[in-house]
Structure 1
């Protein structure tokens, strides 16, 4: 029997746990929604932080919740169901919050990454660099820092003559010399779990807020001779927090600029970055063109060489290669390759266009399949329908899908011609190759190849305006026309002098 080597144990992740501090109320947001749930670029602030930390492969992710606990926990269940929410019942500071988190995972050993839940610009690259530097230095506590032009209001990083970090000094406690320091605390830390537990247990509360600050963990470790480190973020924008609506708008702008820059580097044309907004969850293929006023949200995807905009919003919508969407609003739609949409179209969820299809100006579509090469050119409502290949839906057609209680479906066959101003009262089927006459109300199935005419014969009531609208401009115009019609015609049997002269 061959000897089988036992499988090697999986290497331990470089980060044993991620702790996200998300218990704050965020009063400056002036909102009933918890601060970390405010959205930018297609995710909540908390969602961005979790997305940045996820590639680190931590064994556990703990989110400290407090204010708006129910809302935050519900959101976590949707975006990160494996994350563990832990309640900080009293808001006693960042150090206390970190201790509450560690108490929830008592068996965790190794490196613990601590981040604030309101840092939506954090990137995986920055966190990777922080963890790598922590490991390389053999540090027990490493703080992420940033060099900023204006450090007002931020904690300063004090280093010794060798460049080693000595303390994090809050601005209100800093000397004039310390306030001149431009390196600031980013609120992101990596620490050995055991060391962190011990130092957090000894944090004092002798400060203006009477709270335990995580920033106070550095100084006692330095005094004890423990190895510590401070790593400067490559991009200071990565560590920006968000405390009010103005800062939220600024972070949204920065995030969007990053997304657009990456798209342009990958071969996408963004005509006007100032008016183009693209969520981080969107994908755009090379040679696509995004025109001014374009907004791409959710899980929207744009195929290669497609054109979107101007003034177009796409939410959770798929646009195929070479397709075009102009001045339209689309939600949960699929637009096939080489198809065209707009201007001024509204595609609602469930709308699916096959290749080379067209939905034109002032058309609303919902839960409809439009076959290859088929067209709904203008001024129509198409709901709950299947349209075959090569069909044409005339202007002002309405798919009458709702009877007041239930939605019904209409089926249009291949190469059908639906006349302008047709009402298709579902459920109804128009067979392959059939026609409907303009102005018809179709209530019964139309056989393949038939012409359906469903309209009353025209009846003209002579003299109605003269009798019923006497004295109106319409009556005067009608009378004038009638007099012209009734005037004797010139006898032209013999040439007139004018005729002979010509």
Structure 2
């Protein structure tokens, strides 16, 4: 079997993005563009992937990690020059090399596999991935010979009126016979206005040498979108979002308004879950079966069990069990563990806390740095006072405890199993098991005080 390789072009700064973030690191549905490309390329089981890095080299390497080898293009002198930087890894290899841009996040492994297969079946030295464009303005046109082989690529600005009518365009993705590629690269000139070495010149060099140059036209034009500015970035985001949402709906998820639902590429959602409008699921979020999420809910890097409802709330980097009810207007901050059958009600904030099975904080509470047992009831306005201005301390509330409304638990403190804390208490000492703790000022009624006060006015 022919060995296959890939070169991913990811060295450009992307000045048209007008951003301090390097172009290929701009996210599409929560994942950097170049990572989308590498993920799809990796699924082709190639022998070697080489990513050409330049601007933001270390950031790109830290994003992609060991999924790719790297070659540094210190000066950005064109696409042919970029591919030449991979000569150390690839020049002596035999096989087929796929060259793809890191700013094409929508391209799929299916399309790349079709391109590779067409290239190998036609015994071409080079194959161009093309597409039909309804409006080809600005694209290079593919001019074919009568037998279907590529005669030449003509840029829009150089095309005749007749050539500009051609709607088959060059997408900038290619397959090459690897040996022919590196031989031709050594012949590429920078005798042009920009003084750069262009990869399409390799096509012309191979044609002049009498080699076969083929083209494979994909039916999925949107996959070929190259992102060079924020307008194209928004277009890629929209297409990717539609693709992701469709995948979930096909797999049994009800998305009530897909155009107003934002789901990351990594998110997993179980069947028979319902996602309401305004919901954002980002990062490595996993939603179980039969859940109700939203409307207007933000979940990031969370695991959510089955049959859980989260309405109009925010949850980040936490575990949420099954049969849990959260919201509306709750905030689950990082490192929280909400176990099964818990209720977290409106205007409750949970931070770095564990909630045992069946416990409840129904409204207007802050529970931070706490370990809450099972079947605990936290009344309205319950607060774990975890911070003294310098250090944070833990509150422990054991199984079956009942915390009355408007109680302050001054950490570090433990409320024992099945203990009661009276409403309005400020607890500074541990409460034993089965005890009732009352920590509030004794009520004093001063008869006729208000009447006397009014007389003085």
* TM-score > 0.5, shorter chain as reference: yes
1:323 aligns with 2:345: no
2:8 corresponding residue in structure 1: 20
Contact 2:42 2:67 in 1 (8 A): no
Q: Normalising to structure 1: TM-score of the pair?
A: 0.88
| RMSD value, Cα | 1.6
Residue aligned with 1:157, SS: strand
- Aligned partners of 1:286 and 1:384: how far apart in 2? 34
2:27 aligned to 16, 39, 45, which one? Answer: 39
Alignment match, 1:381: 366
In 2, the alpha carbon distance for the partners of 1:66 and 1:207 equals 22
Query: Contact between 1:166 and 1:218, CA under 8 Å: does it hold in 2?
Result: no
Give a deviation string over 1:211-251, Cα, whole Å, max 9, x none.
21111211221232223221112311111011111111111
Q: Which stretch shows the higher mean deviation, 183-192 or 199-208? A: 199-208
How much does 1:469 deviate? 6.6
Q: 1:57 aligns with which of 41, 45, 49?
A: 45
Distance in 2 between residues matched to 1:90 and 1:74, nearest whole Å = 17
* Counterpart Cα distance in 1 of 2:440 and 2:33: 59
In the aligned structure 1, how far is the partner of 2:87 from the partner of 2:224? 23
Q: TM-score when scaled to structure 2?
A: 0.96
C-alpha distance in structure 1 between counterparts of 2:239 and 2:321, whole Å: 32
Contact between 2:35 and 2:63, CA under 8 Å: does it hold in 1?
no
Cα pair 2:92 2:179 within 8 Å, conserved: no
Residues paired across the two proteins, number: 457
Larger radius of gyration: 1
Equivalent residues of 2:317, 2:336 under 8 A apart: yes
Q: How far off is 1:84 after superposition?
A: 2.7
Question: In 2, distance between residues paired with 1:80 and 1:464?
Answer: 74
- Rate the CA distance shift 1:107–1:326 in 2: closer, same or farther, 3 A: same
Q: Report what 1:489 is aligned to.
A: none
Pairing 1:116–2:101 present? yes
Please give the alpha-carbon distance, in whole angstroms, between the structure 2 residues aligned to 1:361 and 1:260: 29
1:461 and 1:134 mapped to 2: Cα distance? 96
Q: Secondary structure at the match of 2:244?
A: helix
Distance in 2, matches of 1:461 and 1:377, equals 35
Residue 205 of structure 2 is aligned with which of 220, 224, 229? 220
CA deviations over 1:65-113 (Å, ceiling 9, x no partner): 22333xxx23322433342332222221111111122245444332111
* Alignment of 1:242 onto 2:230: no
Name the residue aligned to 2:288: 303
> What is the rounded CA distance, in whole Å, between the counterparts of 1:394 and 1:374 in structure 2?
11
- The corresponding residue for 1:268 is 253
Structure 1 portions without partners, runs of 5+: 1-10, 473-502
